[in-house]
Amino acid sequence: MYGYQKKKQATPFKHLGSNDLKCEMACQANEEIEIRENEYNLQRRIEIRVAASESERSDELLQRKSKCSMQIEIGILVSERGEENGGSEEEEEPVASEKTEMQMAESNLVLLDFWPSSYGMRVKIALAEKGVSYECKQEDFQAKSSLLLEMNPVHQMIPVLIRNGKPICESLNIVEFIDEAWNHKPSLLPSDPYKRSQARFWGDYIDKNVYSIGKRVWTGKGKEQELGKKQFIECLKILEEELGDKPYFGGENFGYVDVALVPFTSWFYTYETCGNLSIEAECPKLVAWAKRCMEKDSVAKSLPHPHKIYDFAMQYKQSHGLE
Q: Which residues here bind other proteins, judged by CB under 8 A? A: 53-54, 66-68, 154-155, 163, 166, 168-170, 173-174, 176-177, 180-181, 193-194, 196-198, 200-201, 204-205, 238
By beta-carbon proximity to other proteins, the closer residue of 179 and 272 is 179
Q: How far apart are alpha carbons 175 and 152 in whole angstroms?
A: 17
Minimum distance, C-beta of residue 90 to other proteins, in the bound complex (Å)? 25
Nearer to other proteins, 44 or 163 (CB): 163
CB nearer other proteins, residue 43 or residue 71: 71
Count of Cβ atoms closer than 10 Å to residue 289 Cβ: 22
Q: Smallest gap, in angstroms, from Cβ of residue 65 to other proteins?
A: 8
Contact assessment for residue 267 and residue 214, using Cβ atoms and an 8 Å cutoff: yes
**Residue 16, φ and ψ in degrees, nearest 5:** -100, 110
- Which CB sits closer to other proteins, 50 or 181? 181
Shortest distance, position 200 Cβ to other proteins, whole Å:
5
> How many other C-beta atoms lie within 10 A of the C-beta of residue 288?
14
Closer residue to other proteins (CB): 66 or 273 = 66
Q: How far, CA to CA in Å, does 62 sit from each of 42, 105, 240?
A: 29, 6, 42
Cβ 170 to other proteins, closest distance in Å?
A: 6
How many residues can be counted in the chain? 323
Q: Name the residue nearer to other proteins (CB basis): 31 or 170.
A: 170
CB of 108 to other proteins, least distance (A): 14
Burial zone of 114 (CB within 10 Å; 0-12 exposed, 13-18 middle, 19+ buried): middle
DSSP 210-264: HHHHHHHHHH--HHHHHHHHHHHHHHHHHHHHHHTT-SBTTBTS--HHHHHHGGG
CB of 154 vs other proteins, minimal distance in Å: 6
**How far apart are CB 70 and other proteins at their closest, in Å?**
13
> 180-205 burial, b if ≥16 CB within 10 A, otherwise e?
ebbebeebbbbeeeeeeebbbebbeb
Smallest distance from other proteins to CB 172, Å = 9
Give the nearer residue to other proteins in terms of CB position, either 32 or 54: 54
What end-to-end distance do the CA atoms of the chain give, in Å?
Answer: 71
Q: Which is nearer to other proteins, 88 or 197 (CB)?
A: 197
The beta-strand segments (E) located in the chain are 31-36, 45-50, 73-76, 88-91, 109-113, 135-138, 160-163, 166-169
